[in-house]
């Protein structure tokens, strides 16, 4: 496995890499969720590249950026065990050699939920992902469905800017109790970790409400809020039902939707989502005369 830090060295490796090239962009602190992305890339690609870069322009709070875990040695071992061909770990001065004056703004799909509560977040995400795409030049890039809105933002950017990379979404990996794997989970203490799965339980309650035939978005959200309300140590930032593709809030569930939420457990912010498919209603048969 190669380990490179400079853009020039990465491009030198890429010039001789076998195609297709699968790419997994990460911020490090790798876990089995990232492992699933790498495995999917490995199964479909002749070469696999992973990037590790904690991107400062997507953080709203300097404290959150400073707290983000950076276990580089363990991350490199993780990648080696998964059969990664090259790990690109650029320092800040490589990615942003001067103050950034050009940014990527994705409208519509980025406006609600995370976009509302973390202003500028998706601008930072889209900008760094486009920069990485320009450096890596992958044939396919892999993103987790746990960050459903981020995945939708990246897909829309690729479509609107006519990029040639294919975007592959990979299902969320969960602990046995349902908690979605996240690098931020390591910030939870034992008590907080014990209550964190309630977020997924609330989303499952919404999912079951839709499966049972409920179409009013407020009623579905109420089913989820009732689960969250039973845990006073969990503070809800948002709970929303949005169209599966454009991430726009809906009032009625008539097509596949994403039920997404962000909650605070202590000082740790957790996000999760589930996709929901309303039951198929058979059309009324014509009455024979």
- The sheet with strand 166-170 has its strands ordered as 2-4, 86-88, 47-52, 21-26, 140-144, 166-170
Which position among 16, 31, 34, 121 bears the catalytic label?
A: 34
- pLDDT (average), residues 251-279: 97
* pLDDT per residue as tens digits for the range 249-258: 999 999 999 9
Q: What is the CATH number of the domain that holds 225?
A: 3.30.1300.10
Nearest to 75 by CA among 46, 57, 51: 51
Shared-domain flag, residues 158 and 245: no
pLDDT at 289 over 70: no
**Residues with Cβ < 8 Å from 35, sequence gap 6 or more?**
78, 82, 173
pLDDT at 32 over 70: yes
Active site residue 34: yes
- pLDDT (average), residues 250-273: 97
Q: What is the rounded CA–CA span in Å between residue 56 and residue 61?
A: 9
Number of domains in the chain: 2
Q: Is residue 257 part of a domain?
A: yes
Beta strands 234-243 and 268-276: pairing type? unpaired
Task: Please state the pTM of the whole predicted model.
Answer: 0.94
* pLDDT per residue as tens digits for the range 141-171: 999 999 999 999 999 999 999 999 999 999 9
* pLDDT per residue as tens digits for the range 85-106: 999 999 999 999 999 999 999 9
* Domain limit, last residue, from 136, 170, 204: 170
Question: Which residue range(s) make up the domain with 204?
Answer: 183-276
Q: What's the confidence (pLDDT) of residue 63?
A: 84
Q: What's the confidence (pLDDT) of residue 233?
A: 96
Shared-domain flag, residues 193 and 263: yes
Q: What's the confidence (pLDDT) of residue 283?
A: 57
To the nearest whole number, what is the mean pLDDT of the chain? Answer: 95
Shared-domain flag, residues 150 and 197: no
User: What percent of the chain is predicted at pLDDT more than 70?
Assistant: 97
Shared-domain flag, residues 131 and 224: no
Q: What is the rounded CA–CA span in Å between residue 270 and residue 260?
A: 11
* pLDDT per residue as tens digits for the range 226-249: 999 999 999 999 999 999 889 999
pLDDT at 110 over 50: yes
User: What percent of the chain is predicted at pLDDT more than 90?
Assistant: 94
Q: Is residue 105 part of a domain?
A: yes
Nearest to 141 by CA among 88, 81, 95, 181: 88
pLDDT at 284 over 50: no
Task: Report yes or no: 221 and 251 within 8 Å, Cβ to Cβ.
Answer: no
Q: Is residue 286 part of a domain?
A: no
């Amino acid at each position: 496995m190669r380990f490179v830090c400079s853009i020039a060295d990465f491009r030198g490796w890429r010039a001789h890499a076998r195609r297709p090239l699968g790419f997994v962009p990460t911020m490090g602190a790798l876990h089995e969720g990232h492992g699933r992305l790498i495995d999917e890339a490995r199964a479909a690609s002749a070469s696999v590249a992973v990037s590790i870069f904690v991107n400062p322009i997507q953080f709203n709070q300097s404290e959150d950026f400073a707290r983000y875990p950076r276990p580089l040695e363990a991350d490199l071992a993780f990648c080696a065990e998964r059969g990664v061909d090259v790990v690109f770990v650029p320092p800040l001065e490589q990615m942003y050699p001067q103050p950034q004056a050009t940014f990527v703004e994705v409208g519509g799909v980025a406006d609600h939920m995370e976009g509302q509560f973390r202003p500028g977040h998706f601008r930072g995400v889209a900008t760094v992902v486009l920069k990485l795409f320009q450096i890596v030049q992958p044939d396919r890039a892999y993103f987790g469905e746990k960050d459903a809105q981020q995945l939708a933002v990246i897909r829309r950017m690729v479509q609107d800017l006519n990029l040639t990379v294919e975007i592959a979404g990979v299902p969320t990996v969960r602990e046995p109790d349902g908690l979605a794997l996240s690098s931020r989970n390591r910030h939870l203490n034992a008590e907080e970790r014990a209550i964190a799965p309630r977020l997924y339980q609330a989303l499952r309650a919404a999912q079951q409400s839709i499966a049972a035939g409920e179409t009013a978005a407020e009623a579905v959200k109420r089913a989820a809020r009732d689960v969250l309300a039973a845990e006073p140590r969990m503070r809800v930032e948002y709970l929303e039902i949005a169209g599966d593709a454009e991430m726009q809030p809906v009032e009625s569930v008539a097509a596949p939707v994403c039920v997404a939420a962000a909650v605070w457990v202590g000082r740790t912010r957790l996000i999760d989502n589930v996709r929901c498919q309303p039951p198929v209603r058979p059309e009324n048969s014509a009455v024979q005369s």
